[in-house]
C-alpha cells in the first residue's frame, strides 16, 4: 500500500525542533522540581554524588569549552540515573580569589591597595553578582539536571566558616605552621603564590656577559646572566668542579661590578658548563636554584625586591626602581664602565603567575604553610584507589606529587577571600585561634575570647591575610556531603562518586582536595576522577581572552539550541583529549536532531505495539534491524561505562540516520500502513517503536530536551527523566543478521542510483523513487525480498 494514499495523524504538531521548545521544557522541569535533591533513605551503594566544579564568574565571555565541559558533566549524571542511581548533583559558584579582584579593579578603575577594604569587598561582591546570574543562566539553558535551588557560593558566610573550621582542625593536628622563607611572589597580584599556580613560557630576553675582576688583579672572568639587576644581591659565584677553565680559580675572590663588594668563587655541580660562560652568580633570589644554593652554601640573604616590585635600599643608586627599569639602568652603567663583554638575545624559560602572566619574583615573606612534603608517599599510595577517566591523566597527578619540594604556602596578601581565623597577642605575639563553627573576620572583629592562651594578655591584633583560594575549593566534597553538619548524611555518601574537571587543574584542585580530605577524613574524597581536555579553536590553538579566540557559548546555545550544542560536544570530544570548537559542527549536530524529530513525527502516526502485545514471530527485516540495534546499544553502553560520550553520540547518529531512517523505515513503510496483514504490520510497529524507544533512552544523557519531548508526545509519560527508567538491554538473538547490513545498504543504494540515472519513457525525466523498476533480488537478500519489492516498487525479472 502506498504511503501517499494514507492520511497522517501525527501526535506531534510542531513541524520542526527548535530551541523555543527547550525553553518551555526547562520551565516545566522547574515547575515539577524534576531534578531537586530530595533526601531519601536509599542504601549507600545506590547514591551517585558528583563533586561538581564550581564555575568562576570573573567576567564575560565564558569559554565555549567550559560550557561543553559542564554539559558533559550533566551527561555523567544522566548516565548514572540510567543505571538506577539516586543522583546528587550540586551546583556551586567559586567566588573567591585574585581573578575577581583584578576584574573589579578593571571594572571600577581602582587599585585594591588604594581602596578602603570594606568598600573594595563590596565592589567585588557586586562584580560577582553581575556575572553569576549569567553563568547560572548558561548552565540552566544547557539543561543541567542539577539542584539549582540549593546552590552554594564559596564566599558565603556558611562556606567560609566551613573553610575556617577545616583550618582550625588541621592547626590542632599540627599540620600548619608559620614560616619565613623565600617564596614565589606575584608583583601584580601582590601576594605569595604556590608552585601549582606557576606556568612557564619562553620569553625573549637579554643574556648579559659581565666581567667580574679578581681581587687586586687585572684578571677577570665573564659571567652570563639574565638578571643583571640583581648584581647587588650576589653572594657567591659558582663554577662546575669539572670545568677545566676555572680549576685554578676556585676559592678565589671576585669584585662585584659597580657595587665593588667581594664574593667567593665556589664549586658546585649545578653550574652548567655549556650555558653562557659556565660561571654563575648566585643572588637572592634569581630563581629557585638560588634559593636551594643559599641554604646549601649557608649564604646570607640580601633582600633585593620589595612587595611593590621595586629594588630595595641595598641597590644603592639603583634603589626604588621597577625591575625592568633597574635592569636597563644597570646594563647602561656596566657598558659605560666597559664591563660588558657582549649581550645575546635568547629565549628564556620564565616562570609566570598563572593569573596575571607576570614573571614571578622570589621574596622572603612570613606565611602560613600546610605540610605536604612529608605526606607525599601517602598521597601516592592513596591515589591508587582513584579510577581515572582516562587512565593516562593519572600521570599528571603523579608527576606533580613527585615534583613537590616545599610545603604549601596557604596565606595570601589580598582582600577578597576567606580570612585566616587568628588573633595575635600584642604582648607575647602568640597566635590564638577560636573554636570552629562560625565565620570570623579578624581584621574587622574583636576575638571571641578574652585572654591569650599563653600569657593571659587581653589585647589582640587580628590577622589581615586571607587563604589561598584553593583552601576553599579543596573542601567541596566535604561541604556537599555535610561533613560538619550531618554525620549521618556524610557517612552515607562520602567518599563521593566522581570528580569531573579539566586537566589544567589536576595539580591544583584535584591535588589539594586529595591532600586536604585525606588529612581530615583519612579517606580519598572520590572513587573516580573524570578529566576533560581543552577546548581549542579551529586552528587547534588553546582559547584565551588575550588571543581573542574565545567563543561566547550563550549566543551559540540560543541560535542552535542546547541539545545541538550538547550533541556536538559529545560527538566531537574523546574523553581526556583536546577538542576543536566549531560553529559549523554545531550546526551539523542541529541537522541530526532535526532528522530525529522528523523520524519521531513519522513514528507517532502509529499505535504502540510493545512487549505486552508483540507478535509471535517477527519478520526478517525486523529481526535484522533489531540485530543492528543490539550492536549499537552495546557500543553505547560500553561508551557510557567509560564515560566517553564520543562513542554513543557517533554510534547513535550513524545508526539512527544512516541505517534506521535511511534503510529500515523505508523498507517497512508499506507494512506499517498495511491493515490487511495484521501480524506483519504488528511486527513492523513493534520493531519501529522498540528501536525508537531505545534510541531515545540512549540519547537522553546527551540530548535530554528532544528525547524528553518525543518520549512525552509519543509514549505519553515522563519516565525518561525519572530515576525509575530502565537501561536498555542488549538482545543478541538476531546477531547473525548483522552481516546482512552491508548487502542491504549496497542494494538499496544501487537501486536509488539506478532510478536517478534511468529516464522515464513517459516524462523523459529520471525515475522517481516511487516509479517501478525491473531488477533481480540478490540471493543473499532473499529473506528481505517482500519488503524490498514493496520499498522500491520492483518488478522482478
CATH T-level assignment (fold) for domain 3-9+583-740: Isoleucyl-tRNA Synthetase; Domain 1 (1.10.730)
**Cβ–Cβ under 8 Å, residues 385 and 377:** no
**Cβ–Cβ under 8 Å, residues 323 and 254:** no
* pLDDT higher at 537 or 389: 389
Give the side-chain half-sphere CA count within 13 A for 122.
5
Other Cβ atoms within 10 Å of 242 Cβ, number:
11
Q: What are the residues whose beta carbons fall under 8 Å from the beta carbon of 511, sequence distance 6 or more?
A: 196, 397, 400, 401
Q: Is the peptide bond before 709 cis (omega within 30 degrees of 0)?
A: no
Closest CA to 450 of 442, 440, 460, 441: 460
Write out pLDDT tens, residues 46-104: 899 999 999 887 655 578 999 999 999 999 999 999 998 999 999 999 998 888 888 89
**What band does 5 get if pLDDT is binned at 50, 70 and 90?**
very low
pLDDT > 60? residue 7: no
* pLDDT higher at 658 or 537: 658
**Cβ–Cβ under 8 Å, residues 578 and 534:** yes
Q: Where are the domains of the chain?
A: 3-9+583-740, 47-168+471-560, 195-361, 742-796
| Confidence at residue 195, expressed as pLDDT on a 0 to 100 scale | 84
Class assignment of domain 195-361?
alpha beta
pLDDT > 80? residue 675: no
pLDDT > 50? residue 626: yes
**What band does 181 get if pLDDT is binned at 50, 70 and 90?**
confident
Q: What are the residues whose beta carbons fall under 8 Å from the beta carbon of 68, sequence distance 6 or more?
A: 535, 553, 565, 568, 569, 573, 579, 581
Least confident of 99-113, 420-434, 464-478: 99-113
| Confidence at residue 774, expressed as pLDDT on a 0 to 100 scale | 92
* Equal fold, 3-9+583-740 vs 195-361: no
Closest CA to 191 of 409, 474, 440: 409
The predicted model gives 691-704 an average pLDDT of 96
| Confidence at residue 202, expressed as pLDDT on a 0 to 100 scale | 92
Closest CA to 530 of 479, 575, 581: 575
Burial code (b: 16+ CB inside 10 Å, e: under 16) for 408-423 equals: bbbbbbbbbbbbbbbb
Give the side-chain half-sphere CA count within 13 A for 229.
23
Write out pLDDT tens, residues 749-789: 999 999 999 887 778 888 998 899 999 999 999 999 999 99
Class assignment of domain 47-168+471-560?
alpha beta
Burial code (b: 16+ CB inside 10 Å, e: under 16) for 613-632 equals: ebbeebbbbbbbbbbbbbbb
H/E stretch holding 186: strand 176-186
What cell was used for 285? 633570589
**Which pTM was predicted?**
0.87
Write out pLDDT tens, residues 198-230: 889 999 999 999 999 998 778 899 999 999 999
**What is the residue-averaged pLDDT of the chain?**
92
Cα–Cα distance for residue pair 688/787, rounded to 1 Å: 14
pLDDT > 80? residue 42: no
Query: Beta strands 535-536 and 262-267: pairing type?
Result: unpaired
Write out pLDDT tens, residues 501-521: 999 999 999 999 999 999 999
Amino acid at each position: 500500500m502506498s504511503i501517499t494514499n494514507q492520511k497522517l495523524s501525527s501526535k506531534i504538531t510542531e513541524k520542526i525542533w527548535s530551541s523555543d521548545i527547550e525553553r518551555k521544557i526547562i520551565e516545566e522541569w522547574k515547575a515539577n522540581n524534576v531534578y531537586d535533591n530530595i533526601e531519601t533513605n536509599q542504601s549507600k551503594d545506590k547514591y551517585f554524588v558528583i563533586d561538581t566544579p564550581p564555575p568562576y564568574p570573573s567576567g564575560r565571555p565564558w569559554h565555549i569549552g567550559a560550557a561543553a565541559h559542564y554539559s558533559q558533566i550533566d551527561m555523567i549524571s544522566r548516565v548514572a540515573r540510567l543505571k538506577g542511581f539516586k543522583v546528587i548533583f550540586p551546583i556551586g559558584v567559586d567566588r573567591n580569589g585574585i581573578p575577581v579582584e583584578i576584574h573589579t579593579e578593571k571594572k571600577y578603575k581602582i587599585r585594591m591597595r588604594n581602596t578602603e577594604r570594606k568598600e573594595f569587598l563590596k565592589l567585588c561582591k557586586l562584580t560577582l553578582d553581575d556575572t553569576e546570574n549569567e553563568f547560572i543562566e548558561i548552565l540552566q539553558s544547557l539543561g543541567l539536571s542539577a539542584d539549582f535551588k540549593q546552590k552554594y557560593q564559596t564566599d558565603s558566610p556558611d562556606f567560609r566558616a566551613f573553610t575556617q573550621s577545616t583550618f582550625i582542625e588541621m592547626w590542632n593536628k599540627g599540620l600548619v605552621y608559620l614560616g619565613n622563607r623565600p617564596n614565589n611572589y606575584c608583583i601584580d597580584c601582590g601576594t605569595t603564590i604556590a608552585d601549582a599556580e606557576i606556568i612557564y613560557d619562553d620569553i625573549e630576553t637579554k643574556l648579559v656577559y659581565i666581567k667580574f675582576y679578581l681581587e687586586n688583579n687585572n684578571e677577570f672572568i665573564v659571567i652570563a646572566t639574565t638578571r643583571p639587576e640583581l648584581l647587588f644581591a650576589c653572594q657567591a659565584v659558582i663554577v662546575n668542579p669539572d670545568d677545566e677553565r676555572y680549576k685554578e680559580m676556585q676559592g678565589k675572590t671576585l669584585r662585584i661590578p659597580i657595587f665593588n663588594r667581594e664574593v667567593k668563587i665556589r664549586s658546585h655541580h649545578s653550574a652548567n658548563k655549556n650555558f653562557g660562560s659556565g660561571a654563575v652568580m648566585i643572588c637572592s633570589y634569581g630563581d629557585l636554584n638560588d634559593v636551594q644554593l643559599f641554604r646549601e652554601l649557608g649564604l646570607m640573604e640580601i633582600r633585593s625586591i620589595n612587595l611593590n616590585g621595586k629594588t630595595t635600599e641595598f641597590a644603592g643608586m639603583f634603589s626604588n626602581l621597577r625591575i625592568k627599569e633597574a635592569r636597563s639602568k644597570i646594563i647602561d652603567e656596566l657598558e659605560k664602565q666597559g664591563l660588558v663583554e657582549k649581550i645575546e638575545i635568547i629565549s628564556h624559560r620564565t616562570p609566570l603567575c598563572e593569573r596575571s602572566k607576570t614573571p614571578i619574583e622570589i621574596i622572603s615573606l612570613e606565611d602560613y604553610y600546610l605540610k605536604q612534603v612529608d605526606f607525599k608517599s601517602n598521597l601516592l599510595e592513596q591515589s591508587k584507589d582513584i579510577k581515572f577517566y582516562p587512565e593516562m591523566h593519572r600521570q599528571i597527578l603523579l608527576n606533580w606529587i613527585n615534583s613537590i619540594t616545599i610545603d604549601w604556602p596557604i596565606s595570601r596578601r589580598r582582600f577578597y577571600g576567606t580570612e585566616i581565623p587568628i588573633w595575635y597577642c600584642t604582648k607575647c605575639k602568640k597566635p590564638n585561634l577560636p573554636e570552629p563553627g562560625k565565620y570570623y573576620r579578624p581584621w574587622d572583629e574583636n576575638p571571641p575570647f578574652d585572654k591569650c592562651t599563653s600569657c593571659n594578655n587581653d589585647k589582640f591584633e587580628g590577622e589581615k591575610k586571607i587563604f589561598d583560594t584553593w583552601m576553599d575549593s579543596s573542601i567541596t566534597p566535604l561541604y556537599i556531603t555535610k561533613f560538619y553538619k550531618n554525620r549521618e548524611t556524610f557517612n552515607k555518601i562520602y567518599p563521593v562518586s566522581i570528580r569531573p574537571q579539566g586537566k589544567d587543574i589536576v595539580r591544583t584542585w584535584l591535588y589539594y582536595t586529595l591532600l586536604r580530605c585525606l588529612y581530615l577524613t583519612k579517606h580519598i574524597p572520590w572513587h573516580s576522577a573524570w578529566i576533560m581536555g581543552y577546548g581549542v579553536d579551529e586552528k587547534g590553538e588553546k582559547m584565551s581572552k588575550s588571543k581573542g579566540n574565545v567563543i561566547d557559548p550563550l549566543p551559540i546555545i540560543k541560535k542552535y539550541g542546547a541539545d545541538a550544542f550538547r550533541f556536538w560536544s559529545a560527538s566531537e570530544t574523546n574523553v581526556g583529549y583536546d577538542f576543536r570548537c566549531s560553529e559549523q559542527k554545531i550546526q551539523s549536530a542541529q541537522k541530526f536532531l532535526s532528522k530525529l524529530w522528523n523520524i519521531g513525527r513519522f513514528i507517532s502516526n502509529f499505535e504502540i505495539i510493545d512487549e505486552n502485545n508483540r507478535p509471535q514471530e517477527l519478520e526478517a527485516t525486523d529481526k535484522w534491524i533489531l540485530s543492528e540495534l543490539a550492536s549499537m546499544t552495546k557500543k553505547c553502553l560500553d561508551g557510557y561505562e567509560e564515560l566517553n560520550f564520543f562513542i554513543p553520540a557517533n554510534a547513535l547518529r550513524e545508526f539512527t540516520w544512516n541505517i534506521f531512517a535511511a534503510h529500515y523505515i523505508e523498507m517497512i513503510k508499506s507494512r506499517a500502513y498495511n491493515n490487511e496483514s495484521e501480524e506483519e504490520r504488528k511486527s513492523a510497529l513493534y520493531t519501529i517503536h522498540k528501536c525508537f524507544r531505545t534510541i531515545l533512552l540512549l540519547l537522553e544523557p546527551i540530548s535530554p530536551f528532544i528525547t524528553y519531548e518525543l518520549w512525552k508526545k509519543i509514549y505519553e509519560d515522563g519516565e525518561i527523566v525519572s530515576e525509575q527508567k530502565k537501561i536498555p538491554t542488549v538482545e543478541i538473538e538476531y546477531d547473525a543478521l548483522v552481516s546482512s547490513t552491508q548487502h542491504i545498504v549496497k542494494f538499496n543504494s544501487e537501486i536509488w542510483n539506478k532510478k536517478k540515472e534511468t529516464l522515464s519513457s513517459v516524462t523523459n525525466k529520471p525515475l522517481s523513487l516511487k516509479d517501478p523498476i525491473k531488477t533481480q533480488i540478490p540471493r543473499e537478500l532473499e529473506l528481505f525480498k517482500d519488503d524490498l519489492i514493496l520499498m522500491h516498487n520492483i518488478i522482478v525479472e
